Amino acid sequence: MLLPSVLRTVVPLVAGWIIVALTRLGFTLDSNTAQAAVTLAVAAAYYLVFRLVERTTERLGGPLWLKGAAGMLLGYARPPRYKPTDDAAELIRQSRT
C-alpha cells in the first residue's frame, strides 16, 4: 500500500514544521533556508522517536495502545508491510496496490 508510506512521510514533515513554527525552538530564524533546515531536523527527530517507540513496543511486547498511538502520530496506525522480493516487477506491482 502506497498510502501508509506517503502518510508516514508527510505527517512527520508537517509535524516538524508545526513544532518549529509554534515554539521557534529558541532560534531567531531570519533565513528561510535556516528555518527549512531546522524544520527538517525536527521532522527527522519526530519520525525517529515515534518509529522507535512503535518498533520497541512491537519487539518487547509492550502495550498495544502505545504502539497504536505512536503509529497514529506518524499518520497511520500500522507500519506498512512489504513482502521480501528481489523481483523489480513484483516490487512495482506491490507499490501500486
Provide the angle, in degrees to the nearest 10, between the axes of the packed helices 32-60 and 64-73: 160
On the question of pLDDT at 94 being above 60, the answer is yes
User: Model confidence over 13-27: pLDDT tens digits?
Assistant: 888 778 777 776 665
pTM above 0.75, yes or no: no
User: Model confidence over 44-58: pLDDT tens digits?
Assistant: 888 888 888 988 998
pLDDT of residue 95: 73
Q: Compute the distance between CA of residue 24 and CA of residue 20 in angstroms, rounded to an integer.
A: 5
Cβ atoms < 10 Å from Cβ of 16: 20
Candidates 87, 86, 77; CA nearest to 1 is: 77
Q: Compute the distance between CA of residue 1 and CA of residue 95 in angstroms, rounded to an integer.
A: 6
Q: Compute the distance between CA of residue 4 and CA of residue 80 in angstroms, rounded to an integer.
A: 6
pLDDT of residue 63: 92
On the question of pLDDT at 83 being above 80, the answer is no
For the chain, domain boundaries? 2-96
